[in-house]
Every structure is written in structure tokens, then in C-alpha cells.
Structure 1
Amino acid sequence: MIRITDLRHRLLDIPDLTLSTRHIAVIGPNGGGKTTLLSVCSGIEEPEAGSVRLLGRPPSAVKVGWVGEFPDRTLLFSRVYDEIASSLRFRHRPCPETDRTVRAVAEVGGIPRLLGKKVSALSGGEKALVALAAACVDDPEVLVLDEADSHLDAGTAERVSRVVQESKAAHILWCTQSMDTAATADYVLFMENGRVRHRGTPDEVFSALEETCFYPTMWRVCR
């Protein structure tokens, strides 16, 4: 469970929010506070006031995997294999176990051919998949994606979705500009001006957004 109480941070103003579902989509206009909320929930930022609890613990005590919109800002190692293996090595996992795990997560993401390559030689979509593999390799309890699918072609975006769904994370917080992706979530938060304006199942939230640009394109075609 994710529990937010009396949260005040920058423009965020969230008095009370409890999330018990696994896949939670975070949507809304630019500047609405989505990235700030994800940063606080992941432990990157400490809230100015109030509290956030993930699985009953502060974010700093939870194993969180983070994937941002721009992988170049977070990829640290020159070789793909080393980037994906880094968190396992930091935890002093045995070398054979590390190798098996790295190759397994690369297989799920469809990137085993990239393991020996230089990160600098990858395309933007390949970097996104490597960043996601690095975030998932150590089985995070909570997986946070901040518009990680924003600059991807359809095939790569589908691979990202597959890796995310196959992760063992108890909660997935996914900020996305794709309303079709958000429509597949268990729960949706619509944020505006730092506040949660709508929350609920995709049907509940998007019924309130039908006359806006936030209504899923596929729903307009199929419903």
C-alpha cells in the first residue's frame, strides 16, 4: 500500500491519498506536479511537510527502481552489461548469480544483443530499455517510471510495457503522456496544479475527461 498524508512539497498539496492497486498511472498537464510526486514517492526528494509510506515504510527504506524520461541523465557506466549489473554488484551478489540475472532481464527486454555494447553507441529507445533493465534487475519493491515511454516508437514502447508487467514490483507508479497506456492501469491519478483532481479506475477517471485531450484515443475509436 502507498499512503500519503498531509503532503506539502513545492506545488504539491495532497491531504490524504491511499493506493492499494499494483499499476497506478499518473497523468495530467505539464507542470501539474506529476514528476514532483514521483520524486517524493521514490525518495529522491524529501517532502517539506507530511509523509509518504510505501508498504508501511518511508521511501528510503524501500527498494525502489526509477526510470526517467531521459536515460542519458541516469546511465552511469560505459558498457551495457555493467550498467544493468551495477545494483547487483553494489549489493555484493555472487558473480554467477549476477550474470544469470543480468542475462535473464535482458532477455525479457529483448536486448541480449546489446550487453556487450557501449552505452554511447545505443539509440534513444535502446537506452530506455537498458535503463529499465537496470531498474528491474534487483527486483524492486516499487517501480517508478517518469514518462519513460515519451520518446519511443511503438515497438519499443510495447517492450517497455512487457518488462514492466513482468516485474515483481508490488506497485508500479507510471507517469505517462500516453492515455492508451494509462487506460491499461489498475488505477489512475489525474493531477493538476499540484492536486489530485480525479482518481479511480480508468473508467471512472476517463469518464470525467471525455471532452478533453486526455481521453484515450483507442477509446474514441472502440467505444
Structure 2
Amino acid sequence: MIRISCLRHRIVEIPDLTVDARHIAVIGPNGSGKTTLLSVCSGIEEPGAGTVRLLGRPPSAVKVGWVGEFPDRTLLFSRVYDEIASTPRFRHYPCPETDERVRAAAARVGISHLLDAKVSAISGGEKALVALAAACAGDPEVLVLDEADSHLDAVTAERVRRVVQESTAAHVLWCTQSMDAAAGADYVIFMENGLVRHHGTPEEVFSALEETCFYPTMWRVCR
């Protein structure tokens, strides 16, 4: 369960929000506070006021996997293998277990053939997959993706969605500009001007957004 109480940080103000769902899509216009909310929930930033609890604990006490919109800004190591191995190494897993986790995560994401490659030599889509594999290698309790699908081709974006769906994380927080992807979530949070304007099931949230650009395209076609 995710509980947010009296949260005030930068533009974001959330008096009270409790979400008990696995796959949670965070949507809204640019500048609405989505990334700020995800940064606080992941523990990257400490809230200016209020509390965030993931699984009953502060984010710093939870294993969180993070995948950002621009992997070039977050990938630290020159070789793909070392990038994926960074999380288990930082958590002091033994070398054999680290190697097992790296190879399993790479296979899950479909980049086993890239393990010995230089990060600088692979494509942007492949870098996004490396970032996702690195997040998954730590067996996260909560997986956070900040528009990780924004600059991907359709095939790669679909691969990311498949890996996320198969993740064993208790919660997946996914900020996305794809309303069709958000429509497949268990729960949707719509933000605007730092506030949560709508939240609930996709049906509940998108029924309030039917006359906006945030209504899923496939729903307009099929419903």
C-alpha cells in the first residue's frame, strides 16, 4: 500500500492519498508535478513537508528500482554488464549471485547479447532497456518509471511494458504520456498544477477526461 499524507514539495500538494493497487499510472500535462511526485516516492528527494509510506515504510527503507526518461543522465558505467550489476553490487550481493542476477535481468529484458557492449555504443532504446534491467536486477519491491517509454519505438516500448507487467514488484509507479498504456493500469492518478485532480480505476478517471486529450485513443475507437 502507498500512503501519502500532508505532502508539500515544490509544486506538489497532496493532503491525503492512499493507493492499494499494483500497477499505478501517473498522468497529466507537462509541469503538473508528476516527476516530483515520483522522485519523492522513490526516495530520490525528501519531501519538504508531510510523509510518504511505501509498504508501511519510508522510501529510504524500501528497495526501489528507478528508470528515468533520459537514461543517458543516469547510466554510470561504461560497460552494459557493469551498469546492470551496479544495484546488486551496491547491496553487497556475493559475486556469483550478482552475476546470476545480471544475466537473468538481461535475459528478461532481451539484451543478453549486449552485456559486453560499451554503453556509449548502443542506441537510445537499448540504453532504456539497460536502465530497466539494472532496476530489475535488484529485485525491487517498488518499481518507478518516469516516462521511460517516451522516446522509444513501438517494439521497444511494448517490450518495456511486458517486462513491467511481469515484474514481481509489489507496486509499479509509471508516469507515461501514453494514455493507452495508462488505460491498462490497475489505478490511475491524474495530476494538474501539482494537485491530484482525479484518481481511481481507469474507468473512473478517464470518464472524467473524456472530452480532453487525455482520453485513451483506443477507447475512442472501441467504445
TM-score range, shorter chain: over 0.9
Structure 1: runs of 5 or more not aligned: none
- Where in structure 2 are the equivalents of 1:145-184 lying within 5 Å? 145-184=145-184
2:74 aligns with: 74
1:126 aligns with: 126
Task: Give the deviation of 1:20 after TM superposition.
Answer: 0.6
Superposed CA offset, 1:47-106 (max 9, x none): 111110111111111111111000001000000000001111122222222212211111
Q: CA RMSD in A?
A: 0.7
SS at match of 1:143: strand
- Where in structure 2 are the equivalents of 1:188-207 lying within 5 Å? 188-207=188-207
Give the structure-1-normalised TM-score.
0.98
C-alpha separation in 2, matches of 1:5 and 1:28: 21
Task: Give the deviation of 1:168 after TM superposition.
Answer: 1.3
Q: Which runs of 4+ in 1 moved over 3 A?
A: none
Task: Give the deviation of 1:10 after TM superposition.
Answer: 1.0
C-alpha separation in 2, matches of 1:88 and 1:206: 39
C-alpha separation in 1, matches of 2:168 and 2:139: 6
Tell me the percent identity.
83
1:91 aligns with: 91
C-alpha separation in 2, matches of 1:46 and 1:89: 24
C-alpha separation in 2, matches of 1:143 and 1:91: 17
1:24 aligns with: 24
Superposed CA offset, 1:2-34 (max 9, x none): 000011111111100001100000000001010
Task: Give the deviation of 1:211 after TM superposition.
Answer: 0.9
Structure 2: runs of 5 or more not aligned: none
Number of equivalences: 223
